[in-house]
Amino acid sequence: MSAVIEVEYEQPQDRPGPACETKHAWARVPPEPSPDERQALKARIRRLLKERNAVMVSHYYVHPDLQDLAEETGGLVSDSLEMARFGRDHAAQTLVVSGVRFMGETSKILSPEKTVLMPDLDATCSLDLGCPADAFAAFCDQHPDRTVVVYANTSAAVKARADWLVTSSCALDVVGALKAQGHKILWAPDRHLGSYIQRETGADMVFWNGACIVHDEFKGFELEALKREHPNAKVLVHPESPAEVVAMADAVGSTSGILKAAREMDAREFIVATDNGLMHHLRLQNPGKTFHEAPTAGNSATCKSCAHCPWMAMNGLADVARVLETVANTIQVDAAVIERARLPIDRMLDFTAGLKRGLAPGSLVPHFGAA
Ligand code: SF4
17 in a structural domain? no
Are 230 and 316 members of one domain?
no
Residue 145 placed within a domain: yes
Tens-place pLDDT, residues 19-76:
345 777 888 899 999 999 999 999 999 999 999 999 999 999 999 999 999 999 999 9
Q: Let me know if residue 162 belongs to a domain.
A: yes
Q: Which domain range does residue 88 map to?
A: 31-125+311-326
The pLDDT value recorded for residue 327 is 96
Q: Is the peptide bond before 144 cis (omega within 30 degrees of 0)?
A: no
Q: Give how many domains the chain has, as a whole number.
A: 3
257 alpha carbon, distance to own chain's centre: 13
Q: State the pLDDT confidence band at 270, using cuts at 50, 70 and 90.
A: very high
pLDDT digits (tens, 9 = 90+) for 84-128: 899 999 999 999 999 999 999 999 999 999 999 999 999 999 999
Please indicate, yes or no, whether residues 208 and 131 belong to a single structural domain of this protein.
yes
Q: Tell me the CATH number at 261.
A: 3.40.50.10800
CA–CA distance from 14 to each of 17, 18, 20, 59, 131 (Å)? Answer: 9, 10, 12, 31, 17
Are residues 53 and 103 both part of a single domain? Answer: yes
Predicted local distance difference test score (pLDDT) of residue 301 = 61
Residue ranges of E strands in 16-124:
54-59, 76-78, 94-98, 115-117
113 within a domain of the structure (yes/no): yes
Same domain for 340 and 206, yes or no, is yes
Please tell me the residue having the least CA distance from ligand 1 atom 8: 125
Residue 19 confidence (pLDDT): 39
Q: Are residues 226 and 173 in the same domain?
A: no
**Average pLDDT of span 238-262:** 95
Ligand 1: atom nearest CA of 213 is: 7
Alpha-helix runs per DSSP H in 75-208 = 80-89, 101-110, 126-129, 133-141, 156-159, 171-180, 191-201
pLDDT of residue 361: 84
Average pLDDT estimate for 281-305: 83
In a domain, 23, yes or no: no
Pocket test for ligand 1, best of 214, 240, 314 (most atoms within 8 A of CB): 214
What is d(CA 175, CA 192) in angstroms, rounded to the nearest whole number?
15
- State whether the beta carbon of 79 lies less than 6 angstroms from ligand 1: no
How remote is the CA of residue 124 from the centroid of ligand 1, in Å?
A: 8
pLDDT given at position 11: 42
Give the model's confidence band at 365: pLDDT under 50 very low, under 70 low, under 90 confident, else very high: confident
DSSP per-residue string spanning 247-287: TT-SEE--HHHHHHHHHHSS-SEEEEES-GGGHHHHHHH-T
Output the residue whose Cα is nearest ligand 1's atom 5: 125
Claim to verify: residue 148 and residue 284 sit in the same structural domain = no
Closest residue by Cα to atom 2, ligand 1, is 212
Looking at the structure, tell me whether residues 38 and 71 fall in a common domain. yes
Residue minimizing CA distance to atom 3 of ligand 1? 212
**Side chain identity at 295, as an amino acid letter?**
P
Q: Does 340 lie in the same domain as 200?
A: yes
pLDDT at residue number 367? 60
Q: Cα(332)–Cα(155) distance, rounded to whole angstroms?
A: 12
Q: Give the span between the Cα atoms of 105 and 165, in whole angstroms.
A: 14
Asked if 84 and 101 sit in the same domain, the reply is yes
| pLDDT tens, residue by residue, 192-202 | 999 999 999 99
Cβ–Cβ contacts within 10 Å for residue 185, how many? 26
Examine the domain organization and report whether 209 and 357 are in the same domain: yes
269 in the same domain as 203: no
Q: Is residue 353 part of a domain?
A: yes
Reply yes or no on whether the pLDDT at 266 is more than 80: yes
In a domain, 306, yes or no: no
Average pLDDT over residues 271-282: 96
Residues 262 and 347 in one domain: no
19 belongs to a structural domain:
no
Which residues touch 33 (CB under 8 Å, ≥6 apart)? 41, 65, 317, 318
How much is the pLDDT for 2?
41
What is the C-alpha to C-alpha distance for residues 239 and 242, in angstroms, rounded to an integer? 8
3-state helix, strand, coil in the chain (%, to 5): 45, 15, 40
